[in-house]
């Protein structure tokens, strides 16, 4: 190795050692409480809401949003001199908006805070006309069982954890965040995610349900859907357990489809390219199942008139019941095993 290279490496090592010594000295001086090194300070702000409102619109950007019940309405936020949370009521709508009024050069800060920004909205009643919450990275949480006519929850990377009822329509969308819903009662239900998983427990829907993901998994348990259930993924798995609906449509490219104790009063249309399709105690008046290379395995609650085909896969199905509904199963190379 050349002397110049050895010299350069020696200088680099010395600089690293000096930097570590300085960092250790500074950390020890604040007793390793790195929050004392912050160049931007936040303080809690509580804003009472005295005017009456029926609708709620929240634009929280990076903050978590929590809705809780209380005797009076208020908004609690973490604000600074230039980063504030605007709270006002206009036309019986409560507006809550995160505003960053810093000039560009103040955005270069040193922050060691491990406490996430949050906005807590305290509501004195459980029933409102509408709710519209939007965040970028913040989580959305509604632990108490609120009721709205319409509700929209949207985030990019934050998680959504909710127990609410929306009389007319509920729309929940995320990109990479997880969606966890419980005790939902609504007329129309739309869930959308790219890579985040979707989980729903104990839901009652008087109308339609539409669920769409790219790579996120979907889990529905204990659901009563009066009309149509439509689910679509690319590589994510779909699992349904204890679900009743009028019609069910499920499609995936490489994800697996699993149905346990699922009943469709009318039709079931299930398709996959390479993902397997498995079901137990599943039933529908008419069934149409198609795959390319995925296997089809399962059992029905009632007898069927079977129409099956596979180019290279193995086919095993019960004897046809002439009183049963039509069941069509087609694959290219996948096996068909019905028992």
Q: What does the DSSP 8-state code read for residue 14? A: H
Band of residue 189 on the pLDDT scale cut at 50, 70, 90: very high
CA atoms within 13 A on the CB side of 119: 29
Q: What is the mean pLDDT of the chain?
A: 89
Residues 218 and 237 sit within 8 Å (Cβ to Cβ)? yes
What was the pLDDT predicted at 1? 55
Burial level of 47, CB count in 10 A (0-12/13-18/19+)? middle
Check pLDDT > 80 for residue 114.
no
Check pLDDT > 60 for residue 35.
no
For the residues 65-76, what does the mean pLDDT come to? 95
Domain residue ranges in the chain:
34-166
3-state secondary structure of 181: strand
C-alpha–C-alpha distance, residues 234 and 79, integer Å: 41
Query: Maximum distance among all alpha carbons in the chain?
Result: 91
119 CB contacts (<8 Å, ≥6 apart)? 58, 60, 63, 64, 65, 66, 75, 76, 77, 85, 96, 98, 138
Check pLDDT > 90 for residue 105.
no
Query: In angstroms, what is the C-alpha Rg of the chain?
Result: 27
Band of residue 113 on the pLDDT scale cut at 50, 70, 90: very low
pTM for the predicted model, two decimal places? 0.84
What was the pLDDT predicted at 37? 47
Band of residue 211 on the pLDDT scale cut at 50, 70, 90: very high
The pLDDT tens digits of the residues spanning 117-136 come to: 899 999 998 789 999 999 99
Check pLDDT > 90 for residue 220.
yes
What was the pLDDT predicted at 40? 57
The pLDDT tens digits of the residues spanning 146-160 come to: 899 999 999 999 999
């Amino acid at each position: 190795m050349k002397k110049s290279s050895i010299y350069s490496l020696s200088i680099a090592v010395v600089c690293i050692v000096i930097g570590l010594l300085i960092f250790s000295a500074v950390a020890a001086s604040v007793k390793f409480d790195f929050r004392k090194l912050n160049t931007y300070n936040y303080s809690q702000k509580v804003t009472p809401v005295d005017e009456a409102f029926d609708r709620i619109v929240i634009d929280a950007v990076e903050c978590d949003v929590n809705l809780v019940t209380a005797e009076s309405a208020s908004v609690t936020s973490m604000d600074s001199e230039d980063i504030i949370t605007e709270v006002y009521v206009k036309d019986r709508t409560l507006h809550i908006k995160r505003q960053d009024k810093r000039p560009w050069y103040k955005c270069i800060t040193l922050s060691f805070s491990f406490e996430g920004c949050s906005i807590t909205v305290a509501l004195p009643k459980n029933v409102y006309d509408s709710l519209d919450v939007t965040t970028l990275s913040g989580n959305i949480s509604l632990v108490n069982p609120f009721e709205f006519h319409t509700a929209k929850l949207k985030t990019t990377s934050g998680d959504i954890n909710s127990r609410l009822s929306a009389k007319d329509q509920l729309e929940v969308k995320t990109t990479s965040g997880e969606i966890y819903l419980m005790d939902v009662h609504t007329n129309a239900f739309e869930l959308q995610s790219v890579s985040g998983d979707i989980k729903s427990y104990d839901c009652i829907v008087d109308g339609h349900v539409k669920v769409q993901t790219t790579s996120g998994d979907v889990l529905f348990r204990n659901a009563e859907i009066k009309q149509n259930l439509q689910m679509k993924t690319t590589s994510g798995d779909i699992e349904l357990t204890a679900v009743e609906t009028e019609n069910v449509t499920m499609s995936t490219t490489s994800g697996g489809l699993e149905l346990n104790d699922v009943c469709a009063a009318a039709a079931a249309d299930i398709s996959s390219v390479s993902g397997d399709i498995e079901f137990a105690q599943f039933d529908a008046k008419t069934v149409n199942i198609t795959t390319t290379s995925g296997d089809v395995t399962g059992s029905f609650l009632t007898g069927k008139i079977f129409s099956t085909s596979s180019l290279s896969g193995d086919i095993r199905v019960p004897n046809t019941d002439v009183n049963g509904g039509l069941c069509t199963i087609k694959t290219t190379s996948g096996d068909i095993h019905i028992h």
